[in-house]
């Protein structure tokens, strides 16, 4: 009987080892998209009155957890009863990611300065409907990104047992939510910490300089995250195409995988941006008649 007990413990230890390995692999594959997730949410969580930043972020975090609670069972059921849907969803998600990434690049290169965003007044209180609308928009964006995180994580463990799939996808999803929104919470409070340092030291001495640095660093960090996130979108999308479309996998055999992924992501993204632009012009043309 004792040997049976130790055999169970050995099985559990073996299972935990397998889950640790698969979680690490899945986390690495989803790391690219988290850069964009982090940049998007850091941007959406700023601009509120200081006292509302953390409550708003908490509301978005709860929405993100709910998103994943909805997405994970659906993805797992599709994988069991209609597994080809996972690859189709991955490719469709890759098309969306490449479009979003290239659209940001095109916007930066050709449309900068055409629109002047309205300045955010930190002292002005946020109207409840506006706050709710911004929270809802952030949760909607998170839903799209969560689909990609869950499916990419699941795609990394498709050949594993169902239990390992469930635990791995759940752990990666939870880590993504806690990690992203935990970092966002730190980022959005940087300027407030900086202002307090400046105020308490009366803008004199080392801590005042450090506080000014924190205040000035916030927009810079958000810009850096935005650039990193845009590059990650293109690379992640290209990786999805390379690993899930046999033609792309065998194309350009002498080119390094990373370069191929960038090429695929950019080409598909440019194609989608062109199609979307043409579609919008056609719709506008028909409406103008």
Say whether pLDDT at 49 is over 70: no
Interval 91-109 mean pLDDT: 85
Q: What is the pLDDT of residues 111-170, one digit of tens each?
A: 765 554 444 444 444 455 577 887 887 788 788 778 878 888 887 777 777 788 888 888
Mean pLDDT, the chain, integer: 78
Alpha-carbon distances, residue 231 vs 203, 227, 252 (angstroms): 38, 6, 21
pLDDT at residue number 87: 80
Q: Which residues contact 71 (CB under 8 A, 6 or more apart)?
A: 143, 146, 147, 150
pLDDT at residue number 112: 66
* Residue pointed to by tokens 């090429």: 263
| CA pair distance 180, 81, nearest whole angstrom | 32
The proportion of the chain whose per-residue pLDDT surpasses 90, expressed as a percent, equals 6
Q: What is the pLDDT of residues 208-248, one digit of tens each?
A: 888 888 888 878 887 777 777 778 778 878 888 888 888 88
Say whether pLDDT at 272 is over 80: yes
pLDDT at residue number 267: 94
DSSP state string for 152-217: HHHHTTTTS-HHHHHHHHHHHHHHHHHHHHHHHHHHHTHHHHHHHHHHHTTT-SHHHHHHHHHHHH
Cβ atoms within 10 Å, residue 160: 18
CB distance 76 to 158 below 8 Å = no
Report which of residues 289 and 68 the model is more confident about: 68
Mean pLDDT is lowest, of 66-75, 200-209, 272-281, for 200-209
Q: What is the pLDDT of residues 19-32, one digit of tens each?
A: 676 776 666 666 66
| CA pair distance 60, 46, nearest whole angstrom | 13
Beta strands in the chain (DSSP E): none
Nearest CA to 249 out of 233, 259, 260, 234 is that of 260
Say whether pLDDT at 108 is over 50: yes
Interval 53-68 mean pLDDT: 86
Q: State the pLDDT confidence band at 40, using cuts at 50, 70 and 90.
A: low
Interval 11-38 mean pLDDT: 66
Residue extents of the structural domains in the chain:
17-287
Say whether pLDDT at 270 is over 90: yes
Say whether pLDDT at 274 is over 80: yes
pLDDT at residue number 125: 47
Burial class (CB in 10 A: 0-12, 13-18, 19+), 255: exposed
Token code pair at residue 31 = 């790391």
For the ranges 109-113, 247-251, 269-273, the one whose mean pLDDT is highest: 269-273
């Amino acid at each position: 009987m004792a040997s049976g007990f130790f055999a169970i413990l050995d099985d559990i230890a073996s299972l935990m080892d397998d889950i640790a390995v698969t979680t690490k692999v899945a986390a690495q594959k989803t790391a690219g998209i988290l850069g964009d997730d982090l940049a998007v949410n850091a941007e959406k969580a700023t601009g509120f009155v200081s006292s509302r930043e953390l409550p708003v972020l908490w509301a978005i975090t709860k929405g993100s957890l709910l998103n994943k609670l909805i997405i994970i069972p659906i993805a797992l059921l599709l994988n069991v009863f209609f597994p080809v849907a996972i690859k189709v969803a991955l490719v469709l998600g890759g098309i969306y990611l490449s479009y979003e990434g290239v659209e940001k690049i095109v916007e930066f290169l050709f449309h900068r300065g055409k629109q002047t965003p309205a300045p955010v007044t930190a002292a002005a209180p946020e109207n409840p409907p506006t706050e709710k609308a911004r929270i809802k928009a952030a949760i909607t964006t998170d839903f799209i990104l969560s689909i990609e995180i869950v499916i990419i994580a699941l795609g990394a463990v498709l050949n594993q047992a169902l239990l390992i799939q469930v635990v791995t996808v759940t752990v990666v999803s939870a880590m993504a939510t806690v990690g992203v929104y935990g970092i966002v919470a730190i980022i959005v409070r940087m300027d407030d910490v900086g202002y307090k340092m400046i105020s308490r030291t009366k803008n004199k001495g080392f801590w005042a300089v450090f506080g000014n640095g924190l205040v000035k660093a916030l927009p810079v960090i958000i810009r850096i995250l935005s650039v990193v996130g845009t590059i990650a979108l293109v690379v992640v999308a290209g990786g999805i195409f390379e690993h899930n479309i046999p033609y792309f996998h065998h194309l350009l055999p002498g080119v390094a995988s990373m370069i191929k992924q960038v090429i695929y992501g950019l080409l598909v993204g440019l194609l989608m941006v062109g199609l979307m632009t043409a579609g919008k012009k056609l719709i506008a043309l028909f409406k103008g008649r």
